Chains A and B, each alone.
Chain A
């Protein structure tokens, strides 16, 4: 029974992982241009922090950016899973943060995350 539950949980985790792995970075680039660039860029921090190298980085760690205390103190490491939760509802994920924007469509988040994954250091 426990082994069965473990397999179900494992399958659920794999599903989440595979779902993000299936995101389309090119569509994500378009999503980025239509949703994010008013406040963000890949290489320069503006109203929001720069995004290059976000995967694997600690939340609130872009040098020189004025983060909310909530984000600075957070121990979140950005991954497909944490970015998905963040983009879906930033305030629910890290209460007290400053980003008022969210992406309600799961496929759009998936594509955005696939694009951000390509923006490595």
Chain B
């Protein structure tokens, strides 16, 4: 009876881990996209210094996120999703339409906002509360990027409670 209970507990734990791996892999997918988007921006020749340096710093942050997520997925026994080719991201993001530095920054702004909203949205979905905290910290990084890009573009200050609605 006790063993049956343990089996049930183990099965439940496995199911919860699988759910968390699924969420982490979606997060990893958006980090792959963010990294490749900044590569596309950097390779476009449209970004001038110091904007280029800032973009590369943000890309480095996303690489930290990527590695952290791959590590967490591995610890849970999951398989991390692989990134697509740069051409795939270029097509998905309509990179051919980017003609100015402002176009690149607006795309980055959208992606950072999307990532912020995505991380905030999944915080309550994690079964492991430590992972929920990681998602919240990742969201904080994304919103920091968003705020700097928003300022660089001269956009209005955000309304209260804009993120994660």
Contact = CB atoms under 8 A, between A and B. Distances in A.
Interface of A: 33-39, 41, 43-44, 46-48, 68, 91, 98-102, 104-105, 108
A101 B125 CA distance: 9
Q: Return the 6 tightest CB-CB contacts between A and B, nearest first.
A: A47-B29, A38-B114, A100-B122, A41-B92, A44-B92, A38-B30
Given A33-B110, A37-B110, A41-B92, 15 more contacts: A34-B110, A37-B93, A38-B30, A39-B33, A44-B91, A44-B92, A46-B30, A46-B88, A46-B92, A47-B30, A47-B32, A48-B29, A91-B125, A100-B118, A101-B118
Contacts of A102: 121
B81 A47 contact: yes
Contacts of A35: 114, 117
A103 B23 CA distance: 17
A42 to B, nearest CB: 8
Q: Main secondary structure on chain A at its contact with chain B?
A: loop
A98 B22 contact: yes
B92 A34 contact: no
Interface residues of B, number: 28
Interface of B: 22-23, 25-26, 28-30, 32-34, 81, 84, 88-89, 91-93, 110-111, 113-115, 117-118, 121-122, 125, 165
A99 to B, nearest CB: 7
A105 to B, nearest CB: 6
Contact of A38 (B22, B25, B118): B118
B33 A38 contact: yes
Contact of B91 (A43, A68, A99, A108): A43
B113 to A, nearest CB: 5
16 contacts: A33-B114, A34-B113, A34-B117, A35-B117, A36-B114, A38-B118, A39-B30, A39-B118, A43-B92, A46-B30, A46-B33, A47-B26, A98-B22, A99-B26, A101-B122, A108-B165
